[in-house]
Amino acid sequence: MKALILNSGTGSRMGKIGICKCMMELSEGRSIIDEQLRRLTNCGINDICMTTGAYAAELESHLRGRFPGINFEFIHNPLYDKTNYIYSIYLARGLLRDDIILMHGDLVFDTALLSQAISSPASCMIIDTTKPLPEKDFKAVIKNGKIREVGVNFFESAVYAQPLYKLLWQDWSVWLAEIERFCLENVTNVYAENALNLMSDKINLLPLDSRGLMCFEVDNAEDLNYARDVYRQCK
């Protein structure tokens, strides 16, 4: 199993920060991406495929220097400012022919939650039934115990969700094929989950309820300040 970490976004909601958003520090000397990789390696995952966009060279140099024991595969999306991460996944598709952990590069999460996802016998996505539905962020629609739709505009039968997935190849291959179809038809300005939603009846994707364990994206300065506070309590 390998992890796919998506870091090709521009991080526009953070303003002009001058670095890749995942390199922002949660505490002195430890960035968001450092903590993601520390948790992944603690759970036995040392093969990392990472998509990049702005500040790709700086990110790659930082990670190769700090994590020499990790097998990195970096895939640069030269159209990072014109496409969504569906296109970054498309560019990396040849390296993703196995079970994977899929996450966004600005995600802060508890190690215990990652361990639960890795141990799941089925494909799963993190949800949290203890939190209210967000207005602008991901929500998952659950029907008959399975996730059927993921996006920002779903509210009916929906729950709070975060982009942390464990995907078995039998399910991931179906989603990946639809991602390829989207990109070959030049539909590259949508979420990868738009492709998932069209194929969800062919995928056994179950919700994994975090029940309050730390798992959220750092989208803006307020999120970053909150993440720093939570990290100090949970690390």
Q: What is the pLDDT of residues 13-33, one digit of tens each?
A: 676 778 899 999 998 888 999
Cβ-proximal residues to 27 (8 Å cutoff; 6+ apart), any chain: 228, 231, 232, 235
Q: How far apart are CA 44 and CA 66, in angstroms?
A: 17
Percent of the chain scored above 90 by pLDDT? 85
165 membership: H or E segment, kind and range:
strand 158-167
Q: Looking at residue 15, what is its pLDDT?
A: 66
Q: Looking at residue 16, what is its pLDDT?
A: 72
Q: Looking at residue 153, what is its pLDDT?
A: 94
Question: Given a cut of 70, is residue 198 above it in pLDDT?
Answer: yes
Q: What is the mean pLDDT of the chain?
A: 94
> Using an 8 Å Cβ cutoff, are 66 and 59 in contact?
no
Q: Looking at residue 230, what is its pLDDT?
A: 82
Q: Looking at residue 18, what is its pLDDT?
A: 82
DSSP-derived letter for residue 187 is -
Domains in the chain, start-ordered, CATH in brackets? 2-234 (3.90.550.10)
> Using an 8 Å Cβ cutoff, are 144 and 204 in contact?
no
CA proximity to 84, closest of 166, 186, 223: 186
CA proximity to 104, closest of 5, 32, 172: 5
Question: Given a cut of 90, is residue 57 above it in pLDDT?
Answer: yes
Mutual angle of helices 32-42 and 56-66, in 10-degree steps: 40
Question: Given a cut of 90, is residue 7 above it in pLDDT?
Answer: yes
Question: Given a cut of 90, is residue 64 above it in pLDDT?
Answer: yes
Q: Looking at residue 174, what is its pLDDT?
A: 98
What are 88-143's pLDDT values in tens digits? Answer: 999 999 999 999 999 999 999 999 999 999 999 999 999 999 999 998 899 999 99
Question: Given a cut of 90, is residue 11 above it in pLDDT?
Answer: no
CA proximity to 11, closest of 230, 226, 217: 217
Return the SS3 of 138.
Answer: coil
Predicted model pTM? 0.95
Q: Looking at residue 219, what is its pLDDT?
A: 87
Q: Looking at residue 112, what is its pLDDT?
A: 96
